[in-house]
Structure 1
Amino acid sequence: MSVHDIPDSRTGTGAGTGTGTGTGSPGVPGDPEVFAAEWEEWHRDKDARLASKHGFLAVTGLHWLSPAPQSFPGVPGTWSTGPEGVVVELDDETEFVVDGEAVRKRHAFGVIPERGGIDAVWGDTVIEVAKRGGHDIVRPRHPAHPLLVAFTGTPAYAPDPRWVFTGRYEAFDEPRPTTVGASVEGLQHVYDAPGRVVFHLDGQELSLTAFNGQAPGSLTVLFTDATSGVTTYAANRQLGVAAPGPDGTVVLDFNRATNLPCAYTDFATCPLPPAENRLPVAIEAGEKIPHERGPVS
């Protein structure tokens, strides 16, 4: 298991919403009560996954590895990295479980690919060993972390059908490597952008560069808008988009715009939106600034 920094938002909007006509105008759900109930169920599920035993709210530190062996709070052993990958040296009393196998003394995790990760289980703690922005990191996940224990849910705008749009997907001739910043100063991420999505809001044509989603054919867009830093998290939000139809039609349901992990904790390395995804309008839909956003203890 590895938790990516663009998590699965599971936002695909399908036949159950009754959205849109492919014109680029707001979609019209068939039944407002069903629309609201589906959104409530989706949001509860999203928060439940965020607050899972070893989810991002359980992360207690973000540690950057170097060739020199280092020890970290809440993490057994001494850790280092080099051309052959990440290595941990454990004392005689400590045991990890990695891929179902017990590990003692010295363990080589090998070279971890970008955005990849390996989990080492230590009692009720999961130690994520990963690579982000070309750097090897260690992130312990403790289920008793106060940020997780105190979590009461993510505030959000009430679901409103006016924020459901149909638009079109325009594929690029070739996927475009796109470099974006990160919530960690000095870090960069590179993603292949297969195309963009175009929609209309109040007579204005808007577009968003899209990255590949986790489900085959699906898309993810990272964006900010005029609510960012006011009612919604300043750095970014994300929106999952189901695979385009045969004619390129897509559904954008901004009621399902979600925070990334960096909205809750400073121990995430989330990507920032491409510059062209800074919308000049206020998207008063989706998740708001979390209650937890503040100093991390």
Structure 2
Amino acid sequence: MPDFLVQPVDFATGAEDLRKVREAVFVLEQGVPAALEWDGSDAACHHVIARDAAGAPIGTGRLTPDRRIGRMAVLPQWRGRGIGDALLLALLEQARALGWSEVSLHAQVSAEHFYARHGFVPQGGRFEEAGIEHQTMRRALRGATAIEQRSAAVAMTAALATQARRSLVIYSRDLDPGLFDAPLVLDALRRLATRLGPVEIRVLLHDAAAPQHALAPLLPLAQRLPSVFAFREIHDPVDRAWPSAFVANDTGGWYFRPLGHRLEGEARLDEPARARQLQEEFTRTWERARICTLYRALDL
């Protein structure tokens, strides 16, 4: 059981507790000027607060009227315990209850990977805010997210691996350099592969030689975990003519690319029917594919 509680709080009654956390994190720790931290819009925002077992405030977050998540803060001594995840999930739940179709946020660059694991994708370039480098990120709450650049593809693929329970399927031409060798994706795959309990990550390739020749970093990870990773190579001419690529997990998430040699496509984290459809298509092709004999030397 967690030793904290996250709940909505009205600013009129919770201002003092919110202030304790935000001033400790933003003003004292990060050096944000108090005049910027208290921007006058809190009364119009929806807030959530995390409290410890004694009721003391330890984390905050808010939704602004322009549908932006902000003021995500956790006291230093409480970090690494899942409080940030719980705050963010509570804010997303509130946003859905309000009927919002998407939310955005200005992520501190140091926290960009945290938001990416929750399905937020970068948009535009980085910028400075209150003397700290930030990145605009967005997440769709209804419908698919358009994937238009590499950073968005990396973020969504990492989110799919992070949110998978026990299985993930990857249909790729050659392990897509720039995507499956991205540190964020590799870390998410490693975390999934080393999770307690049975986990299966299946990878279908058009060209099994290309990742080997390129020394793709996913292969050494799979070598260390041969009971988790399985690779096959497509050889049926009809299957090889299929132009697309995709990733799908067992919690309803998917990322589909109409053209497998490009990263542009669409993705969702919460559409089980489409995820099952892609998994079924994957399984049919998997059964016709052959084991990657090139990887035998790697014990794959």
What TM-score, normalized by structure 2, do the two folds share? 0.25
Asked which structure has the greater RCO (Cα within 8 Å, sep 6+), the reply is 1
Higher helix share: 2
Query: Which entry has the higher C-alpha Rg, 1 or 2?
Result: 2
- Structure (1/2) with the larger strand percentage: 1
Taking structure 1 as the reference length, the TM-score comes to 0.26
